[in-house]
Amino acid sequence: MVVLTLSGPAGGGHHVRMPSVASPPSPSPVTRSSVRVAIAATHPAVRSGLTALVGSDAGLSLIATAPDARGATRTLLQHHPDVLLVALSGALADGAAMVRDLHRMAPDTAVVVTRTDTSDAYASLARDAGAAAFVPLDGPADDLLAALHRAAG
């Protein structure tokens, strides 16, 4: 519990009790059997949620996060993850081109795409661009975790 004191006029103050907010999990230690995962997601809340989800699975090790396509490229080249989880937003063609570029730069890294648009057209486009899997962002968390493990081989 966190207590905030708000000062008012003439030195008076009010105390407000607020629940503590957990800080995002630290990257977990990498073990030989861990799948090394990097996350690229534009929206901070999505990135935090995916970070927490990956951190909840003992078989996965989060090694890096990125806020955009440029960061995803840098992460891919610097950290060489087994799997890059990409939460795409924006135009279909742009997302497919990004997946194609990432796959071309690091063919040994599996790219798993998640997004709220779950149309068959987008799933096909992502797979055609080289994504190992497409998982709806609004689907069960276990589906996304299973896709990360499958993508790693």
Task: Give the whole-angstrom CA distance, residue 59 versus residue 84.
Answer: 15
User: Tokens 């809340």 sit at which residue?
Assistant: 45
Mean pLDDT (10-residue bins), the chain, 153 residues: 37 41 45 84 93 97 93 93 88 76 92 84 85 92 96 93
Cα separations in angstroms, 48 against 40, 60, 61, 135, 138: 11, 16, 15, 17, 15
The DSSP line for 50-115 is HHHHHHT-TTEEEEEEESSHHHHHHHHHHH--SEEEEE--S-HHHHHHHHHHHHHH-TTSEEEEEE
- pLDDT, residue 14, reads 40
Identity at 73, one-letter amino acid code: T
Class of domain 24-152: alpha beta
